[in-house]
Structure 1
Amino acid sequence: MKSFSALALLLGSLFSQAVMAAENTCDDTTDCIRQGSWDLGIALGYGVKSNPLKDYKDIPIYVLPTVAYYGEKWFFDNGALGYTLTEQERFTLNLVTGFSSDRAYFYRWDPSNIFLAGSSQALQQAPIARTTWELTPPIGPLEERSFTYLGGMEAYIYNRFGTWRVALLHDLFDVHNGMEGQIKWNYHWSHQELSLDFAAFLDWKSQEIVDYYYGVRPSESAYWSLNYQAESGWNSGVEFTARYHMTPEWELLMTARYTRFADTIADSPLLDEDDGYAYLIGAAYRF
């Protein structure tokens, strides 16, 4: 199978996105993983992943490791396990698994946040306090949102205008029985030691996913469990990554991601923001 981008998309675990395909050949000037070998790297710097949930803290980012392996068919990349069904010059079709990004807002130690260094304590939420003159009742402590793993199919389409990724994933553990669709376009540009990546994406969440994570249970608020009705919806956003290669091992990097939540998610009484962001500024080392 083709080699895959490694350090170029080192923040794949942070952003919950799969890596994109690169060229077949690998050397010290390219950003790909040699087939049959492990790729290990670590980014050090300062960054933040915002948390739109009320009374939940933003997630600090200081250290971000990456671990990946690509064989002839099987591959592993920061928790995502996959198998290549077919690979052609213009497209690749994979079976793929991965973590859900939604649960990461509720638990600091969720696997989607496992590569984010900082406090080892889980994020805590106190009951949402409101003054007596507010008309809507408060929401109490939240029930558990259980861990699950998503699996399905993804396709990469390559042309001179960039790389397209299309994926459809389903809940493998029957936690919410929901589905998630992903569409992403990425364009890579480089000149000497400078490399830039631009991306735009759409993430579709089924009604089951939205209701499970952002709906309100009767024990949390009898009022809001009746008055908020979850629907399916599309998140949208953009990404930007800049890297400057100092040596074959070291590079400076800056990466950022902005997400606009679907209206049905933004309308949830659990949220106080209708968008989110993540960024990291620092340096990366490739072993």
Structure 2
Amino acid sequence: MKKTITATLILISSCLLAQPVPDSPAYEHELQIGLAGVSSQSIYLGGKSQNRIFPAIDYQYKRFYFQAGDIGFNLIDSKDWEIDFGMGVNLVGDTDRGDSRLLKDLPNLSLPVSGFISAQYKSKMGLFKVKHDYEINNKHNGNSSSISYAAPIFKGQWLIMPKISYEHHSQEVVNYFYGVNTVDATLSLPAYQTGAVNNIQLSVLGLREINEKWSFVGNIQNEFYGDEISNSPIVEDDQRLSVFAGFLYKFF
């Protein structure tokens, strides 16, 4: 069950705790700790929606940071550009396959750790970001790339940030999470191996500073999967909805 909680945390990491107000001042040390909850649907055959409550940690020391499961280093942070590299868990699928009883005989999956590099361009139109991940702990040896656009909107004490992402995952990534090997195939679960996939992700983030110490963050996200995933015999849906909410306390 611990692995399931970790997986759920990573699924929402790309759009939640690591979202500061654009152009906010950077201090030598920044630490926020809080409590968050997430509800995420499962696209796996017979999979259950996951509802979890977990501690949230966001820490930054100069150019180093630990945010939403990523350990990174900020190589460049200018008025227009931000370039980071680091490592984290790039989870395209659920390692527990939604705790589905129909898929319990398939081999266990592990959390793949990836190295990443990302570049973000900050403009008056919004935030443009590209990111590339490559798995480094020999779970599937695949890679993922994404390009996204987010438009920060300030309303009083609220920051509202709609975002659209286009994601590409290599065939190694897709087959690891959604494929069925020949040795594991049955009459009800035929063998399935496929190629790379392109997904689209839509989300809206809301951030509100309640006072100098407390802040609220919420996010609703829907991911639309390509045919290479939705055609898998262990998948029964072509999209997944996730809802997140949490409170953070700033220590310094």
TM superposition score category, shorter chain reference: 0.7 to 0.9
Name the residue aligned to 1:125: 100
Matched, 1:38 2:2: no
Amino acid of the residue matched to residue 15 of structure 1? Answer: I
- 1:199-214 aligned at under 5 Å gives the runs 199-214=163-178
What's the secondary structure of 1:190's corresponding residue?
Answer: strand
Name the residue aligned to 1:179: 143
Percent sequence identity over aligned pairs:
17
Amino acid of the residue matched to residue 51 of structure 2? Answer: P
Distance in 1 between residues matched to 2:36 and 2:60, nearest whole Å: 21
Name the residue aligned to 1:95: 85
Q: Provide Cα deviations, 1:17-68, integer angstroms capped at 9, x if missing partner.
A: 1635645554xxxxxx633232222236xx520011111211013x343212
Q: 1:23 to 1:271 in 2, by over 3 A?
A: closer
1:51 to 36, 42, 66: 42
Q: 1:285 to 1:275 in 2, by over 3 A?
A: same
Distance in 2 between residues matched to 1:125 and 1:271, nearest whole Å: 11
Q: 1:251 to 1:73 in 2, by over 3 A?
A: closer
CA contact (8 A) 2:190 2:233 kept: no
1:76 to 48, 63, 66: 66
Q: 1:127 to 1:22 in 2, by over 3 A?
A: closer
Q: Provide Cα deviations, 1:249-283, integer angstroms capped at 9, x if missing partner.
A: 445554200000111011111100010010135x6
Matched, 1:286 2:252: no
The aligned length equals 240
Amino acid of the residue matched to residue 49 of structure 1? Answer: S
Cα RMSD after superposing both structures: 2.6
Distance in 2 between residues matched to 1:79 and 1:251, nearest whole Å: 19
What's the secondary structure of 1:52's corresponding residue?
Answer: coil
Distance in 2 between residues matched to 1:85 and 1:254, nearest whole Å: 28
Distance in 2 between residues matched to 1:99 and 1:83, nearest whole Å: 16
1:15 to 12, 16, 22: 12
Amino acid of the residue matched to residue 67 of structure 1? Answer: I
In the alignment, structure 2 segments of 5+ residues that lack a partner are 1-7
Q: 1:193 to 1:268 in 2, by over 3 A?
A: same
What's the secondary structure of 1:17's corresponding residue?
Answer: helix
Name the residue aligned to 1:7: none
CA contact (8 A) 1:125 1:141 kept: no
Matched, 1:159 2:123: yes
2:108 to 144, 151, 175: 144
In the alignment, structure 1 segments of 5+ residues that lack a partner are 1-10, 27-32, 109-122, 129-139
Length-normalised TM-score, structure 1: 0.74
What's the secondary structure of 2:140's corresponding residue?
Answer: coil
Mean Cα displacement is larger for which, 94-103 or 16-25? 16-25
Distance in 2 between residues matched to 1:285 and 1:74, nearest whole Å: 20
Higher strand proportion (structure 1 or 2): 2
